[in-house]
C-alpha cells in the first residue's frame, strides 16, 4: 500500500513539474534605466571583455593567466524561459571580465546603489562571487584587466573554505601621502548560500551611512567612519617611539612581605606521610605465601633449546590461596598523612609600596594625522565594473546587475526578476526533494542499508536548508539520529581533551584495607593530594595606568 501511494505521489509530482514547464514565465528585458544595467541579453559581448592579462605571483617567479572561460547561457535549472546569465565556467581557475560605463559614476552627492544576483549552481567550494567597481580611467583596460587594476569598491559574496561572507571594501586615498588603503567592513554578513539564486544589494549614502542587504533584507547598517578597519582617520596622538621606560620605574604590583618570618615551629623537613603505627596485620594474612607463583600447568615448549634460549622459567600466576585470604606476602604497616606536615614556607604576598603603575610611553601628536569626515565624497568616481576572482567551483552565474543612484529602481528590478525567480526555484527544489524521497523509499533498508541511510541523511540536510522545523517534522528519526551522532562525537572529543571529568580525582579500589603502600603508591598519592599553601592575603583594586607627562 505504501509503495502504491508513493508511486502515485511521484506521478502527481511529475505532472506538476510538466505543468510548471509548460507555464514557465518568459524573460522580458526591463525598461528600467540606470547608469549601468546588465541582464546579459544577446548584445552582451559588445559591453563585456574577457581578460587576457598575465598574473604574476607576489615574488614574480611564476606567471599564470586568466584562463577561466566565460559564457552567457541558461541556468542549469532554468525557471524563466530565456533568462540567461554570465557564467564562470572553469573549475580551479582565475577568471576576469569587465565592462565600461558610458559615463563615470560620481556618488559624492547621490546614493550609490549596487545590486546583482549570484547563483552557485554546483554548490559552494571556495569561489568568489563579488564585483569590483573600477576606478574611472581604468574602465577601458579590457583585455588587460587584472588584480592590479585600481578599483573604488569591492562588494559581494565569497566562499572562503570553509565559511561565507559578503565583502564590502573601499579604497580610500590618504590626503597627505596620496597612497590608497583598503578599508574592510569589520563584521561582514555571513549568510547561508545554497545552489539557488541570491540577491546582494549595497547602498552607500552621501552622509557616510551604508546598508548591506541579502535577498532584500538588511544585514548591516552603519557608518563608513565607524565600522571599517583600518579606520578612515588615523589617531590624533600616537606613542612616542623614542620614549623608554626609566630604569627606576617599578611596575611590580605584589611582592613577598619582607617583614614576614617563618614561625619557629614550622618544620619544612616533616614528611608528607608517615607510617601508621596503630595499624595491625589483618587476621588471615598469609605472610608465608607468595602473591604470585609459577604456573603449575605451564610446560616448556618443545622447540625450547636451553643452550640457545637459556633456562626455561615457567610464567607466574596469582596464588589461588591469596584469593580467599586478607593478603599474602610480607605485611608492613601502611602510610598515613602526617598531621605535622606543613611543607616549604613562603612569605605572604603584600602590595608593593613602591609600585608606580603600568608604564606606557608618552603620547605625541601623530605627524601623519588627517581628518576626513566625508570619505564618500573623496572616493574616486567609478568608470566600470569587473569580475576578477579565483574559484574552485564552476558554473557560478551572475545576472541582473544594477549600478546607479535609485534605491526604488533597484527594488523594481528585483521585483521583475529575483522576486519572480526565487519562489519558482524554491518550489522546484521542494518538488525535487519529494521525488528523491519517493525514489529513496523504493530502496529498502534490507536490500541496501548503506544507500537507504545515505539517502535519508541527504534528503534531511536538503530539507533543513529550506525549512529546519518542517525537516524535523517530516523525518524525526533521521534528525534524532544525526543529533545523537553529533552529541556522541563531541562527547568523545570532550573525553579526549579532558573536558569531561577533568576535575574528578581518580578512584582507586584495593582488595585489602591495610595493604602497605609501595613507593609507587606513595608517589601517586603525593601527586593527587593537594599540598597546603600559605595564605597570601587579599588582592587590592587595580591601579590605573600611569603615563609620563
3-class secondary structure, 536: coil
Within this chain, do residues 387 and 415 fall inside the same structural domain, yes or no?
yes
Specify the DSSP class assigned to residue 128: B
518 lies in some domain: no
pLDDT of residue 168: 98
Nearest-angstrom CA–CA distance, 330 and 320: 17
Q: How far is CA 450 from CA 220, 436, 486, in A?
A: 44, 16, 19
547 lies in some domain: no
Within this chain, do residues 202 and 231 fall inside the same structural domain, yes or no?
yes
* Residue recorded with cell 606476602: 329
Nearest-angstrom CA–CA distance, 197 and 87: 13
Q: Is the pLDDT of residue 259 over 50?
A: yes
Mark which of 488, 505, 522 sits at the end of a domain: 488
pLDDT of residue 455: 64
The alpha carbon torsion through 402, 410, 198, 66 (nearest 10 deg) reads: 10
pLDDT band at 431 (very low <50, low <70, confident <90, very high): confident
Tell me the pairing of strands 327-328 and 285-286.
parallel
Within this chain, do residues 69 and 137 fall inside the same structural domain, yes or no?
yes
Within this chain, do residues 415 and 475 fall inside the same structural domain, yes or no?
no
3-class secondary structure, 392: coil
In this prediction, residues 152-180 reach a mean pLDDT of 93
**Is the model more confident about 52 or about 525?**
52
514 lies in some domain: no
The percent of residues above 70 in pLDDT, for the chain, comes to 77
pLDDT band at 5 (very low <50, low <70, confident <90, very high): very low
Nearest-angstrom CA–CA distance, 172 and 185: 13
Within this chain, do residues 379 and 472 fall inside the same structural domain, yes or no?
no
The percent of residues above 90 in pLDDT, for the chain, comes to 64
pLDDT band at 477 (very low <50, low <70, confident <90, very high): confident
3-class secondary structure, 102: strand
pLDDT band at 140 (very low <50, low <70, confident <90, very high): low
3-class secondary structure, 14: helix
95: containing domain: 36-238+374-426
Q: List Cβ neighbours of 7 (8 Å cut-off, separation of 6 or more).
A: 438
Round the average pLDDT of the chain to a whole number and report it. Answer: 83
Q: How many residues does the chain have?
A: 549
Biggest alpha carbon–alpha carbon distance for the chain = 107
Number of folded domains that form the chain: 2
Within this chain, do residues 72 and 114 fall inside the same structural domain, yes or no?
yes
pLDDT of residue 161: 73
In this prediction, residues 306-327 reach a mean pLDDT of 91
Buried b (16+ CB within 10 A) or exposed e, 207-238: ebbbbbbbbeeebbebebbebbeeebeeeeee
Per-residue DSSP letters for 345-378? --PPEEE-TT----EEPPEEE-TT----S-HHHH
Within this chain, do residues 158 and 186 fall inside the same structural domain, yes or no?
yes
Q: At what angle do helices 2-22 and 418-441 cross, to 10 degrees?
A: 150
Nearest-angstrom CA–CA distance, 98 and 357: 58
Alpha helices for 201-319 (secondary structure H): 306-309
pLDDT band at 462 (very low <50, low <70, confident <90, very high): low
What are the residues facing 220 on neighbouring strands? 212
**Is the model more confident about 361 or about 306?**
361
- State pLDDT tens for residues 71-121: 999 999 999 999 999 999 999 999 999 999 999 999 999 999 999 999 999
pLDDT of residue 478: 75
Tell me the pairing of strands 546-547 and 359-360.
parallel
Within this chain, do residues 116 and 218 fall inside the same structural domain, yes or no?
yes
385 lies in some domain: yes
pLDDT of residue 497: 59
**Is the model more confident about 142 or about 531?**
142
Three-state SS string over 424-481 comes to HHHHHHHHHHHHHHHHHHCCCCCCCHHHHHHHHHHHHHHHHHHCHHHHHHHCHHHHHH
pLDDT of residue 54: 87
- pTM of model > 0.75: no
Task: Tell which phi-psi region holds residue 111, choosing left (phi > 0), alpha (psi between -120 and 50) or beta.
Answer: beta
Within this chain, do residues 400 and 451 fall inside the same structural domain, yes or no?
no
| CATH number, domain with residue 81 | 2.60.120.200
- State pLDDT tens for residues 286-310: 999 999 999 999 999 999 998 888 9
In this prediction, residues 326-335 reach a mean pLDDT of 92
Least confident among 3-12, 179-188, 207-216: 3-12
Q: Is the pLDDT of residue 139 over 60?
A: yes
Within this chain, do residues 131 and 90 fall inside the same structural domain, yes or no?
yes
pLDDT of residue 34: 97
Nearest-angstrom CA–CA distance, 154 and 166: 10
Nearest-angstrom CA–CA distance, 420 and 435: 23
143 lies in some domain: yes
* Grid cell locating 267: 618544620
Nearest-angstrom CA–CA distance, 202 and 213: 6
* Residue recorded with cell 574602465: 139
Q: Is the pLDDT of residue 264 over 80?
A: yes
340 lies in some domain: no
* Residue recorded with cell 606567471: 63
pLDDT of residue 448: 62
Q: Is the pLDDT of residue 510 over 90?
A: no
Nearest-angstrom CA–CA distance, 30 and 43: 15
Task: Identify the helix (H) or strand (E) that includes residue 100.
Answer: strand 93-105
For the ranges 53-62, 154-163, 458-467, 491-500, the maximum mean pLDDT occurs at 154-163
3-class secondary structure, 489: helix
Q: List Cβ neighbours of 203 (8 Å cut-off, separation of 6 or more).
A: 111, 112, 113, 210, 211, 213, 407
pLDDT of residue 126: 84
In this prediction, residues 135-161 reach a mean pLDDT of 88
31 lies in some domain: no
In this prediction, residues 317-327 reach a mean pLDDT of 91
482 lies in some domain: yes
pLDDT of residue 181: 97
Within this chain, do residues 385 and 458 fall inside the same structural domain, yes or no?
no
Amino acid at each position: 500500500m505504501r509503495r502504491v501511494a508513493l508511486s502515485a505521489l511521484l506521478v502527481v509530482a511529475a505532472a506538476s513539474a510538466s505543468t510548471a514547464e509548460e507555464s514557465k514565465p518568459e524573460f522580458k528585458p526591463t525598461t528600467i534605466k540606470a547608469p549601468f544595467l546588465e541582464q546579459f541579453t544577446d548584445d552582451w559581448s559588445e559591453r563585456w571583455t574577457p581578460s587576457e592579462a598575465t598574473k604574476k605571483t607576489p615574488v614574480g617567479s611564476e606567471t599564470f593567466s586568466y584562463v577561466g572561460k566565460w559564457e552567457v547561457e541558461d541556468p542549469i535549472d532554468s525557471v524563466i524561459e530565456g533568462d540567461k546569465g554570465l557564467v564562470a565556467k572553469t573549475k580551479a581557475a582565475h577568471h576576469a571580465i569587465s565592462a565600461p560605463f558610458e559615463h563615470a559614476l560620481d556618488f559624492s552627492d547621490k546614493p550609490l546603489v549596487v545590486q546583482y544576483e549570484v547563483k552557485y549552481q554546483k554548490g559552494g567550494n571556495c569561489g568568489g562571487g563579488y564585483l569590483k567597481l573600477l576606478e574611472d580611467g581604468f574602465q577601458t583596460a579590457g583585455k588587460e584587466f587584472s588584480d592590479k587594476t585600481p578599483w573604488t569598491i569591492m562588494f559581494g559574496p565569497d566562499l572562503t573554505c570553509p565559511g561565507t561572507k559578503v565583502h564590502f571594501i573601499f579604497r580610500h586615498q590618504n590626503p597627505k601621502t596620496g597612497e590608497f588603503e583598503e578599508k574592510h567592513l569589520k563584521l561582514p554578513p555571513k549568510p547561508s548560500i545554497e545552489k539557488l539564486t541570491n540577491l546582494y544589494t549595497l547602498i552607500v549614502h552621501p552622509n557616510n551611512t551604508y546598508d548591506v542587504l541579502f535577498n532584500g533584507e538588511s544585514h548591516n547598517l552603519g557608518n563608513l567612519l565607524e565600522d571599517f578597519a583600518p579606520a578612515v582617520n588615523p589617531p590624533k596622538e600616537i606613542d612616542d617611539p623614542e620614549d623608554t621606560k626609566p630604569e627606576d620605574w617599578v611596575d611590580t604590583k605584589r611582592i613577598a612581605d619582607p617583614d614576614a618570618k617563618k614561625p619557629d615551629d614550622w618544620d619544612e623537613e616533616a614528611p608528607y606521610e608517615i607510617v601508621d603505627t596503630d595499624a595491625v596485620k589483618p587476621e588471615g594474612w598469609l605472610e608465608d605465601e607468595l602473591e604470585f607463583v609459577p604456573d603449575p600447568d605451564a610446560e616448556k615448549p618443545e622447540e625450547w633449546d636451553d643452550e640457545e634460549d637459556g633456562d626455561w622459567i615457567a610464567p607466574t600466576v596469582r596464588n589461588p590461596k591469596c584469593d580467599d585470604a586478607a593478603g599474602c606476602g610480607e605485611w608492613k604497616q601502611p602510610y598515613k598523612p602526617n598531621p605535622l606536615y606543613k611543607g616549604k614556607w613562603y612569605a605572604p604576598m603584600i602590595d608593593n609600596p613602591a609600585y608606580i603603575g603600568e608604564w606606557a610611553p608618552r603620547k605625541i601628536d601623530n605627524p601623519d594625522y588627517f581628518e576626513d569626515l566625508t570619505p564618500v565624497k573623496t572616493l574616486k568616481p567609478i568608470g566600470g565594473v569587473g569580475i576578477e576572482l579565483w574559484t574552485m567551483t564552476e558554473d557560478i552565474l551572475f545576472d541582473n546587475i544594477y549600478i546607479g543612484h535609485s534605491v526604488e529602481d533597484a527594488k523594481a528590478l528585483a521585483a521583475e526578476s529575483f522576486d519572480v525567480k526565487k519562489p519558482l526555484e524554491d518550489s522546484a527544489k521542494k518538488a525535487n526533494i519529494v521525488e528523491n524521497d519517493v525514489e529513496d523509499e523504493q530502496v529498502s533498508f534490507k536490500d541496501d542499508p548503506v544507500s537507504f541511510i545515505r539517502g535519508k541523511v541527504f534528503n534531511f540536510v536538503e530539507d533543513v536548508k529550506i525549512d529546519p522545523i518542517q525537516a524535523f517534522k517530516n523525518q524525526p528519526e533521521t534528525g534524532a539520529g544525526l543529533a545523537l551522532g553529533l552529541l556522541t562525537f563531541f562527547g568523545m572529543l570532550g573525553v579526549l581533551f579532558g573536558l569531561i571529568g577533568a576535575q574528578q580525582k581518580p578512584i582507586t579500589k584495593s582488595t585489602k584495607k591495610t595493604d602497605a603502600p609501595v613507593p609507587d603508591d606513595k608517589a601517586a598519592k603525593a601527586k593527587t593530594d593537594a599540598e597546603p599553601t600559605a595564605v597570601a592575603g587579599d588582592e587590592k583594586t587595580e591601579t590605573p595606568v600611569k603615563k609620563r607627562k
